Structure 1
Amino acid sequence: MLNRIKQFFSEMGGEPADGPTRHSEAELHVAAAAMLIEAAMMDGAIDERERERIAALIERHFGIQRAEVDQIVARGESKQDASVDIYSFLRVVNAHFDYEERVQLIEMLWDVAYADGDLHDHEANLVRRVAGMLGVEDRDSGAARKRVLTRLAEGGGNGDALHPHG
């Protein structure tokens, strides 16, 4: 799995000359994970609560074993400053996720943005921009944000975007 992740990150720079590449399910998971990591790092750092929230979201949503999730998160963090940008990941997600999956990803991004207890302006801006680039309507992004805030207000901090009760 880790070799596939490394290969995916090295190939994310652009489309090959002979057309778009079909990405494996694991590669799509990495693309989504990288977007979550980018959201967490928008305030300049990723703290342990954000890291744990990302790992829980990836593990639960994609059914990836925790050891592999930890590798994905570590790899994503190390690539954050590299030339790979979020637009490469957006292109992959947009091409391979249906609308409902994109809304779920936006909810996961809101979940990560609030994981440290403080929504930074850069985090909110990123989630809004990503929603727009993924074609997620404002009302659906707003509803996703409200679901996250409701869970937090109800003490549902142990839940996540797809498993709100734990």
Structure 2
Amino acid sequence: MLDVLRRFITDLSGAPDEHGFAVDDHRVAAAALLIHLIGVDGAVDDPERVVLHDVLKARFDLDESATAELIAVAQSREADAIDLYGFTSVLKRSLDAEGRAGVIEMMWEIVFADGAADELEDNVVWRAAELLGVPARERVELKRRIAARTQSVGAATR
């Protein structure tokens, strides 16, 4: 009970938690969205975990330790979340249009980590894009680009 109260007060203050990531850190919000997306189809595969790690590390220019910490914090925040709005509102306040489109691009990279887009995953990306103000045309173009890149990488490794 005391831990819950401490976390609530920390969340209100916006101060960094024990990992050094503030409640309103856009990196945590983005990572939490990606973690939600990974679990939405009911199956979390190793390729999805690897892509999650690699995407976060590259996009936010983190080292191994910081990437692991970000994922841990985001998993905790995602577990406590009741909807996507808590994360998308942070991203919308913190990022410009290009940055918000970059979040949708990361989401598509997660979706295609296992080779195909599931209907539930597609729906989550659509809802997040709407909340982030990313136009449908741009969302669809990002999907096509990531799908084509994923298919060409998959063909090259066969």
Coarse TM-score class (shorter-chain normalised) = 0.7 to 0.9
Equivalent-residue separation in structure 2 for 1:28 and 1:83 (angstroms):
15
2:101–2:134 Cα contact (<8 Å) kept: yes
1:58 to 56, 59, 66: 56
2:115–2:151 Cα contact (<8 Å) kept: no
Structure 2 residue aligned with 1:27: 25
1:109 to 107, 110, 127: 107
Query: Residue 137 in 1 paired to residue 135 in 2?
Result: yes
Equivalent-residue separation in structure 1 for 2:132 and 2:143 (angstroms):
16
Residue identity matched to 2:87: F
> 1:103: Cα distance to partner?
0.9
The residue correspondences of 1:1-166 to structure 2 (distance < 5 A) are 11=11, 27-83=25-81, 85-155=83-153
Q: Percent identity at matched positions?
A: 30
**Which of 29-38 and 81-90 deviates more?**
81-90
Q: 1:89 to 1:25 in 2, by over 3 A?
A: closer
Larger Rg over CA atoms: 2
TM-score, normalised via structure 2 length: 0.79
Cα deviation code 1:9-66 (max 9, x no counterpart)? x61xxx77xxx99x96982111111111111111123221111111111110111111
Cα deviation code 1:87-132 (max 9, x no counterpart)? 1111100111100111111011011011122322111000001111
Q: 1:77 to 1:46 in 2, by over 3 A?
A: farther
Aligned length: 145
Structure 2 residue aligned with 1:164: none
Q: Secondary structure at the match of 1:147?
A: helix
Residue identity matched to 2:71: V
Residue identity matched to 2:93: A
